[in-house]
Amino acid sequence: MAYEHIEYTVTAGRAEVVLDRPDVYNAFHPEMLVELNECLLDALADDDVYVIVLTGRGKGFCSGADVSGMDGREDRKNAFTYGAHLWKVQHVNRLLYFGSKPTIAAVNGPAVGAGCDFALACDLRVVAESAFFRTQFVNVGLAPADGGGWTLPRLVGEAKAKEYLLTGRDIEPADAADIGLVVDVVSDADLMDAARSLANEIRDKPATAVKNTKALVDVGQSFAEYAQEAHTRQYECVTDPEHREAVRAFGEGRAPEFDRPRE
């Protein structure tokens, strides 16, 4: 499918989703928001995709909703129309966080408001030295309704999350690394190479194991719930051909040979 406000490519098992409104730091309007949902659904349904990488064009990752049309916007007429808009934003976070395939945010510049939430919803984050995260909402008289108020405490703990959510302060790259929010901080020039290298590392693992590992990481479940779910998912893994090849390769001291697209 062709998109107007997003560039979407599948290369060597990686789906790369590039937000493409660089003149406004990739702020989204309603049309772009619909495309982003559709694009992520395409990637999750594509058997040739093993990992999803989300990034932005130009100097910004995503500056959230386009504020130029925010005041008086049609979807704010009543709670029902606003709920329909908010659902689309929240659903991007659902797809990134709960989707069956690993997601990586390559944060190339400011990730602000809902854009910050999109980065937080990804499983892993690699950040450029010039980038930063800002939850932003209290600064403009809003609550973190898009998803970050749920995600950030799970990533960095309740106290640290409240610090950033209640003050709207920036999370600079060094601080993001210190609190475990990002995998790595790299130069701007090296960002996509670092993100692709991380994506390829995950791509080259047994796919069923990767899918089920992501699904089992749920901080809200009890151990009893985890144990029951783990039984089902582990049995799917032990009966998977890639598991058998991985065990053989380990015993023979070689890299496993999976049917994966390569660079």
Per-residue pLDDT tens over the stretch 48-91: 999 999 999 999 999 999 877 655 456 667 888 888 889 999 99
Record the pTM: 0.95
Question: Using 50, 70 and 90 to split pLDDT, how confident is the model at 261?
Answer: confident
CB 134 within 8 A of CB 170: yes
Alpha-carbon torsion angle 83, 89, 95, 97, nearest 10: -100
Mean pLDDT for 92-99 is 98
Is the pLDDT at 193 greater than 80? The verdict is: yes
pLDDT at position 58: 97
**For the sheet containing 51-56, what is the strand order?**
6-11, 14-19, 51-56, 103-107, 124-128, 184-186
Tell me which H or E stretch contains 59: none
Percent of the chain with pLDDT over 90: 89
Is the pLDDT at 148 greater than 90? The verdict is: yes
CA contacts within 13 A on the Cβ side of 215: 20
Per the listing, tokens 């049609």 go with: 74
CA-to-CA separations, 120 to 71, 91, 134, 146, 174, in angstroms, rounded: 26, 14, 11, 11, 16
pLDDT at position 78: 83
Separation between Cα atoms, residue 244 and residue 237, nearest integer Å? 9
